[in-house]
Structures are given as structure tokens and as C-alpha cells.
Amino acid sequence: MIQTRGLVANYGTTQIAFADVDWQQGTLALLRGPSGSGKSTWLALAAALKSPHSGELRVAGVDISKLRPAEADRFRAQNVALLPQALQLVDALNVADNLGLAQWAAGQPRDNAAIAERLSQLGLSDLAKRLPHELSGGQAQRVALARALLLKPKVILADEPTASLDDAAAQAAIDALLQAAETSSATLVIATHDRRVNEQFSAPGLAAQEMRL
Ligand code: ADP
Ligand code: MG
């Protein structure tokens, strides 16, 4: 669940004001707007990576507007799957160990069975020992997705998840996100200005919420 009231972000003296949202658990939402309109900034606020300048922000039942850095790190590791625009795979670690990082960040013991299961779900089992630079763009995207989804998050935040993917890989990325959200009854927010995503979500039967920036 994500609720905001009067949310404002700032970079120095530049401020960005956001419309209020009220998204219950399990909501599927699109953040739409052109480049530079504040989509990544909104996701950074919702992931407690950035503190708001003002306003209220509740995510997964927690008031995250005034968390201290260590609290924000714990909140994020335990509740949020953030799929950033730059994938941030660690190049010195193989695919399986990149997934292990998510468990480490959440203070959990390494769980190889959970890693193997998630890799298998996304068709990545054969790539477990590869290093990130040995993956194609679409594979790297799926590995980042596998890592983000490893801990069955309550909130999934995906920043332009289809940018730079061909049609088939873009479809696979969206399907994986939808499936993951459904599996853990998570709230899924996708920031995008990809026409293909907009088309998919305007299909009847997919009741997506929308915030335009
Ligand atoms: P989007 O993701 O929709 O492209 P962003 O959230 O990245 O938009 O950026 C929103 C605005 O904030 C832009 O004007 C951008 O230049 C500015 N901005 C983003 N990150 C920073 C930063 N680290 N320092 C200063 N300005 C920033
Ligand atoms: Mg962005």
C-alpha cells in the first residue's frame, strides 16, 4: 500500500510537487510522464532512498517520511523491491551471488534454495554462474528482476523496466512483474513513458491506477 499527502521533493532549491495517491495493497499503478517530470524521484521517495522535502508518505503501513538512514535501509530491504533504471548488478559477483546480495542487505542468512527457485522461475538457471558482463541486455534485466523479487516484497517499484528492450523482452519483463506482484499480493508501480506499456495496460481487464506527472 502507498499513501501520499502533499508530497514535495527537492534538489537544492528546485522543488517537485506530486499529486496524492492512495493505493491499496495489490494495486497496479503506472507513473506516466515525459523525461525529467519526476518519475524516478517519486520512486526514490517511495523506496526511502530520498527524504521528502515535505508531505506525508506511508508505504507498506510505515510512515517513511522521517526515517533515519539505517531505518530506511532496513525498511527498504524488508519491504521494497526496487528495479532501478541502471540495473546495479555487481560486476565482480556471478548471477547467483548478485541475488544473495538481496538476502545479505535484509540481514537474512544466505538461502541457496530460494535463489535457485527464483532463477528457475525466470528461466535463468543456466546463467547462475555467469558474471553480469557475460549477459545480454534482456538477461541482465531478468537477473535484476529476480534479485529485486527474491524476498517477496510488499511493494515493487520498477523504473522504466522496458527501456532498451525489444518487444519480446519488454513483454517478458512486464509479465514477470505482473506475476511477481500477484504471487506476493504486492503493490506494483511502473514508471514508464514506453508506449508499448501504456497500450498493454489500457487493455480491458487490467484495472491499472495511473498518476500523470
Ligand atoms: P524522470 O525520471 O521522470 O525522467 P527525474 O525524477 O529523474 O525525472 O527528474 C526530475 C527532475 O529532477 C529533473 O528536472 C531532473 O533534472 C531533476 N533531478 C533529478 N535528479 C537530480 C539530482 N540528483 N540533482 C539535481 N536535480 C535532479
Ligand atoms: Mg527516470
Nearest CA residue ID for atom 13, ligand 1: 36
Do 104 and 110 form a contact (C-beta atoms < 8 A)?
yes
Task: Return the pLDDT at 188.
Answer: 95
Nearest CA residue ID for atom 15, ligand 1: 36
What secondary structure letter does DSSP report for 4?
E
Say whether pLDDT at 102 is over 90. no
Mean pLDDT of 17-32: 94
Q: Which ligand is nearest to the CA of 35?
A: 1
- Give ∠ CA 141-145-147 in degrees, rounded to 5: 120
Task: Return the pLDDT at 187.
Answer: 95
Q: Which of 15, 18, 37, 85 to mutate to test the pocket of ligand 1 (most atoms within 8 A of CB)?
A: 37
Do 191 and 31 form a contact (C-beta atoms < 8 A)?
yes
Q: Which of 15, 40, 50 to mutate to test the pocket of ligand 1 (most atoms within 8 A of CB)?
A: 40
How large a percentage of the chain has pLDDT more than 70? 100
Say whether pLDDT at 203 is over 80. no
Say whether pLDDT at 140 is over 80. yes
- Distance (Å) from CA 59 to ligand 2 centroid: 20
C-alpha to C-alpha distance for 65 and 114, rounded to whole angstroms: 32
Ligand 1 binding pocket, CB closer than 6 Å: 11, 16, 33, 35-41
Task: Return the pLDDT at 97.
Answer: 96
Q: Which ligand is nearest to the CA of 86?
A: 2
Task: Return the pLDDT at 106.
Answer: 79
Nearest CA residue ID for atom 22, ligand 1: 11
Q: Which ligand is nearest to the CA of 160?
A: 2
pLDDT digits (tens, 9 = 90+) for 165-190: 888 888 888 888 888 888 889 999 99
Helices (H), the chain: 39-46, 69-79, 95-105, 112-121, 137-149, 167-183, 195-201
Instruction: For each of the domains in the chain, give its residue range(s) and CATH number, in order of start.
Output: 2-212 (3.40.50.300)
